[in-house]
Structure 1
């Protein structure tokens, strides 16, 4: 930690002497890779919190959810956002008892014929149309219908500012109920780019799996978009931890009633902005800017340092010493 403080002190001293920004001074100490010099990436992200309804048989409720989503999209666009990120269940999070063939008091295999698929797809189509109108990238969760008797995926659709689905993330590590009775699991990570900023997607209870966040660090993402309808544990603190240990932003989108507001954690783990704490539908807007001091230091210092440490550099410094091997050698 002393070395890191000294390093940052040197960078700030150069910035003060030359009038450069912190990021420009940092490049003097840690030059960018060839072809990357002078690059600067920034995108404005809005993270949302919405009510979550659990009955996909209720067409009116699906339509109301769609209207609420589109209202928040308009607010995000009015505040200059290029990307808006919604929680799991923003249109509907089908309840396990509602869907169960053994319900309403027991959990069993889900009967997906109960879902008003035509209404759900119509609402998603309207959302895509508004994304095109607003020129707003929109990341929104929904069940993704498969063919025949196959269960759907629990998914995040990535809709471009042209109103097109450019990719889709399917939840991979589902709860026992989800994977046993409700959904088919996904198989791979998903990334996409907006204005040079690279995003990864996670969903549901995947906040509890650090290996998924580490995988996105290996894929060089700048921000992970995590959507959930709620999962046990202090998930907000986990989001901050994943941001810190991986040196990227984490967008944390939860239902309005979750108990902790949606927000965006910086690469140093601090919250940049959060939605209303009173549980009302809202968006929080932040600039993901790699010229910020926290981002520049975390990405230029923290991420390369961890990668170097994991690369096997310590092997050359290991010693062949009997006192090293003997765990009971005492003092």
Structure 2
């Protein structure tokens, strides 16, 4: 049986003391990497979106450009040293400044050698991070969010290979776009990382939405959300957590508590379950690429769709 073991760290409560945040994350990572009864450590530890900083993307928030870092850089160096010491790969969200000077909401994967693993973009590119594709500008639970002010969007979906397992990735808002999941599956992904900082009304359907995405894509879903209250510039927001692991048939296998900072989930994924799901319900065989092309052709800004960017 082919397996991979993941540990989910529901981090939260970050402050503008970035060194203190890294120290707190290091303690959580070390706890998540503790050997089990057989002496084994997880293959991969996963942390939430923008986990090295507070979530700072309020519509009227301050400019935080000085928080952005390159990949590789000081933050990847600190967490990479832990990956090397603990013998675990680590995936985490961070505020990235690209070599070209663009800012991205990104997920970095560090291998057991402590170095960033290159991603495989759908266009043949090999970026050092997965960069969030869809950037929200909205009001959620009374909180104004404007990521378009702070980040440039990523160019294409991307996957990454670790230990013979291919992982896809979505960051928070990306999870609501089924086409990103479909591309990751087509690129060979059998596990999707959903790296999240979500709050407010999105809690109601968080698990159900991810179960649906798992069933549609027939991949394992490893979803890690920020958890608990976090205060920045005098404003406190409560992130709902509910980090979870969902099987390729949509079954919730493990779930962290709501609104709590620090819980760790550990789960071994049976990768043969992906093959079983896709054989039993051959959605890939029955997909209609011609309809997807039709959707692309029909997609254009329209006056009667106020949610569509012009």
User: Which TM class, normalised by the smaller chain length?
Assistant: 0.7 to 0.9
- Which structure is higher in helix share? 1
5 Å-filtered alignment, 1:1-331, equals: 40-53=1-14, 55=16, 58-75=17-34, 80-96=41-57, 107=60, 110-113=63-66, 115=67, 121-146=73-98, 150-167=101-118, 168-176=129-137, 178-230=146-198, 232-233=201-202, 234-257=205-228, 258-277=239-258, 279-292=260-273, 295-302=274-281, 305-310=282-287
TM-score for the superposition, normalised by structure 2: 0.73
Structure 1 residue ranges without an equivalent (≥5) = 1-39, 98-105, 314-331
Higher strand proportion: 2
Measured against aligned partners, the alpha-carbon deviations of 1:105-161 in whole angstroms (never above 9, x if no partner) come to: x72783513x3859x95343121011011221110110111357x441110001111
- Cα distance in 2, alignment partners of residues 207 and 312 from structure 1: 21
The verdict on how the C-alpha distance between 1:129 and 1:145 changes in structure 2, with shifts beyond 3 A counting, is same
The CA distance in 1 between the partners of 2:277 and 2:68, in whole Å, is: 46
CA 1:259 to 1:116, structure 2 compared with 1: closer, same or farther past 3 Å? closer
Cα RMSD of the aligned pairs, angstroms, is 2.8
Larger radius of gyration: 1
Cα distance between partner residues in 1 of 2:163 and 2:69: 33
The worse-fitting range, judged by mean Cα deviation, of 176-185 and 151-160 is 176-185
Q: Distance in 1 between matches of 2:277 and 2:272?
A: 11
| Distance verdict in 2 for CA 1:212–1:291, change over 3 Å | closer
Q: Cα offset for 1:196?
A: 2.2
User: How many Å separate the matches in 1 of 2:35 and 2:155?
Assistant: 31
Length, aligned pairs only = 257
Once the two structures are superposed, residues 281-303 of structure 1 have per-residue CA deviations (whole angstroms, 9 ceiling, x without a partner) of 122111111345xx44312222x
Q: Which runs of 5+ in 2 are unaligned?
A: 119-128, 138-144, 229-238, 291-310
Measured at CA, do residues 76 and 53 of structure 1 come closer, stay the same or move farther in structure 2, by a change above 3 Å? farther
